Each structure stands twice: as C-alpha cells, then as structure tokens.
Amino acid sequence: MWRELVTNRIVISCFLAVLLAQAYKAIDAYGKNRKFHLKYFFMDGRMPSGHTAIAAALSASIFLEEGVTTLWIASTVFALVTIKTVLGDKTFALEQEKMINKIMKDISAGNIELVEWAYMTGHTVKEVWVGLLLGIAVSAAVYFV
C-alpha cells in the first residue's frame, strides 16, 4: 500500500507542487529578512498560491493519467472552487485590514502609537496564476520527464 502511494504520480505531483510553492515562500522571506524561520515554510498567503498549485497539480495529473473523465471534471471543479476561494479570502481580508487600520489611526489621533495591522490571507490574482502554472508544470514534469 505505501509503495503504491509514494510512487503514484498524482500524489507525487501534488506533493511537489505544494512543496515548491512553500519552499519559494520560505526562500523569499529569507531573502527579505536574512533570517530563516520554519514558520515561513508554513505561512499562508504570498507568492505563489500553494492552494492553487496543489489543486492545479491534482487536476492536471488526473487529466494526464486518465484524460477527460468524470474524476477529471470533478477535480477541475474542485480546483476552480479553490481558486475562487483564495481570491475571495484576499478581498475580504483587505477590506478588514482597511477598516482596522482606519480605526487604529482614529485612536492614534490622541498621540497613542499603534502599529498598522496587516494579515496575509488569501492571494492576489497574480499569486493564483503563478500557483496554477506551477501545479500544471510540476504535473507535466512528473509525467513527461
């Protein structure tokens, strides 16, 4: 059972897609901060979208393995829902961030120093596109290289 699982190209594609997406985030954070923290490898948000990468890798791998089947259609719908969700989360979080920062500025008018709140959640369209292309590219590499 384990051998079939670890040698399954669909599993390998999904694992590599999310591993590469998260590794990029950790390397990018290291380049900016000159400090390595394991938390950077597990963070949400930022470039590229790991959620989109794994969903795209799943759909692309199923297509490469089976062609156009009911399972591929279901995985593609799942990928599209994932993409819509991560884009929607980002929009929602940005609106919250704007409101919280306005409240903090209003409070700080009394010379109370507050740091602006910024929480990385969801993804921009660019981050989603890079995650999508990463997932498809990893699947193609696993199947054709």
What pLDDT digit, counting tens, does each position of 32-76 carry?
Answer: 878 777 777 777 777 788 889 999 999 999 999 999 999 999 999
DSSP three-state, residue 59: helix
Q: What is the pTM of this model?
A: 0.66
Residue 134 near residue 48 (C-beta atoms within 8 A)? yes
Q: Is the CB of residue 49 less than 8 Å from the CB of residue 130?
A: yes
Cα–Cα separations (whole angstroms), residue 52 to 25, 38, 122, 127, 137: 14, 21, 11, 9, 13
pLDDT for residue 145 is more than 80: yes
For the chain, the structural domain boundaries read 2-86+124-144
CA 58 from centre of chain: 14
Nearest Cα to 123, choosing from 59, 54, 70?
Answer: 54
